[in-house]
Amino acid sequence: MKKLLIVSLLVSIQSIGATSCCNENNNMKSEKKCCYSQGCCNKKAKATPQSTSNQETKNIIKEAYSEVVTKGGSVCPMGGCCGGGAQLSQDIGYSREEIEELADANLGLGCGNSVNLGDIQKGETVLDLGSGAGLDCFLAARKVGPEGSVIGVDMTQAMIDKARKNTNKYGFDNVEFRLGDIEKLPVESNSIDIIMSNCVINLAPNKAKVFQEAFRVLKSGGKMTISDVVLTGELTAEQKNDKKLLSACVSGAILKEDYLTLLKNAGFSVTIVDEDTNISKKWFGNNDLPISSLKFIAYKK
């Protein structure tokens, strides 16, 4: 009994110490042994299990994006980004024809056009991480043709419902939408040719797990075409804790170099295609936030 009490006490002390460290040094550039929300600052360590705070983060995001579907508007504090409408979609890389033809599938949620980053071929199987109302899935479905298929995964039920309704409206029979978490994909291993994602991975608390899951489901020789927000400098403590900036794809983002390290640790080789350093101005009307939209292709070795 005495041994059991001592072991329990030690575990409790370690747990308290880790929590305190994370609160004080919530980034990879600080104390290397301190765990952070995307896994652990020690890059050789495994990602930590999902914590209560991670689930709270996901609940905040679900609520914000459900409201975009049910009430319209933006998830950004001042409007403009992530729900900015057709003009924003054109500014980040979609054509007017694409937006007009699939208007109900475009909620203005994105920081680039991940569909055009990769060379999607007929007959391929494509997976969209954070598929929203379905715009990117429908654009990819046209590329893969009836011989191919597209799977969209989103953790927000309202988004899934909207996307399925749009599937029927626009007559796509090679697209399906699955409710699920991109940190634990409802997809078979070695079954996907191309993964695409547009401004979603930054929202995931455990990005290391997202990349591990992506590597798992991709076929050998498969690739990811991603447009996502990364940090070009440190956020203030106030910005990191801002719930509106979390849903606006800012406070959940991590430094570019750390993001790329997580990708490489998961087994990917990365080619950067482009980087939009004016995304803060496009979204918020100023360049006050240290963010950029990184567009890259990650190959499964």
> Is 212 within the bounds of a domain?
yes
> Is 109 within the bounds of a domain?
yes
More confident residue, 280 or 6: 280
Domain extent, residue 144, equals 53-300
pLDDT, tens digit, for every residue of 189-202? 999 999 999 999 99
> Is 111 within the bounds of a domain?
yes
> Is 14 within the bounds of a domain?
no
> Is 18 within the bounds of a domain?
no
- Contact between 33 and 42 under an 8 Å Cβ cutoff? The reply is yes
pLDDT, tens digit, for every residue of 115-145? 988 899 999 999 999 999 999 999 999 999 9
> Is 8 within the bounds of a domain?
no
Count the domains in the chain.
1
Mean pLDDT of 186-215: 97
Q: Return the pLDDT at 284.
A: 87
Integer Cα distance of 37 and 107 in angstroms: 28
Whether the per-residue pLDDT at 233 is higher than 70: the answer is yes
Whole-number percent of the chain with pLDDT over 70? 76
Q: Return the pLDDT at 93.
A: 60
> Is 41 within the bounds of a domain?
no
pLDDT, tens digit, for every residue of 255-271? 999 999 999 999 999 99
CATH number of the CATH domain containing 73: 3.40.50.150
> Is 23 within the bounds of a domain?
no
Whether the per-residue pLDDT at 33 is higher than 90: the answer is no
Question: What pTM did the predictor assign?
Answer: 0.78
